[in-house]
Structure 1
Amino acid sequence: MIAEISVVPIGKEIDLASHVAHVVKIIDASGLDYKLHAMGTVVEGESDQVFDLIRKCHNKMLESSERVYTTIKIDERKDKKAKMIEHKVLAVEKELGKSLRK
């Protein structure tokens, strides 16, 4: 399973990097494959592990904020066991015939 998650504290200052860093520490410590990008983080693992990680991240943000907005997108396939974070990008690059900026 891969999931894109974004955990945002509501009612905090404009710069959220320090708040996001607390969540990314949890993701990094999980041992799951992940890729941080400007609008969220994609994580990959077994569904129980991913859902548990999402809960931990959401609860961590709640420790420092009265309100938290978490968005989750999930893609789970039974027919593929490849590293989907990499596979999805490589498949598009193959169709285009070139590498993309990452």
Structure 2
Amino acid sequence: MPLMEISVIPVGTDSESFSGDVEKAVSLIEQNGLNYQVTATSTIIEGDIDKLMDVAQVIHMNELENKAKRVVTTIKIDDRVDKPIRLKDQAMKVSNS
């Protein structure tokens, strides 16, 4: 199952804090029934590629709708076809290293 790492930076808002933005993004991810992990600089989401792209678009557009004058969104996708990858397995591999 594909993994997507997303980082969204709203520019030109009234606050320097991103915590409210992260909470809104996590709420959208949960509403879509996707597994995720929030890190210090991004959020990693596991799911069907179409659903991942849809959620990324909604998260990005929400920032524009919430009065950001500019939004910088960075997305990385890990989509392995030779064997399954899971978010929990990838996180455990790193922590056991």
- Classify the TM-score, shorter chain: 0.7 to 0.9
1:52 partner SS: helix
1:86, 1:23 → 2: CA distance? Answer: 20
For the aligned residue pairs, the C-alpha RMSD in angstroms reads: 1.5
**Higher normalized contact order (CA 8 Å, seq sep 6+, divided by chain length):** 2
Stretches of structure 2 lacking an aligned partner (at least 5 in a row): none
Which residue of the partner structure matches residue 76 of structure 2?
73
Stretches of structure 1 lacking an aligned partner (at least 5 in a row): 97-102
- Give me the identity figure in percent: 35
TM-score, structure 1 normalization: 0.82
Q: Give the counterpart of 1:27 among 12, 29, 35.
A: 29
1:11, 1:93 → 2: CA distance? Answer: 36
1:15 partner SS: coil
Counterpart mapping for 1:1-102 below 5 A: 1-12=2-13, 13-64=15-66, 65-83=68-86, 85-94=87-96, 96=97
1:22 partner SS: helix
Count matched residues. 94
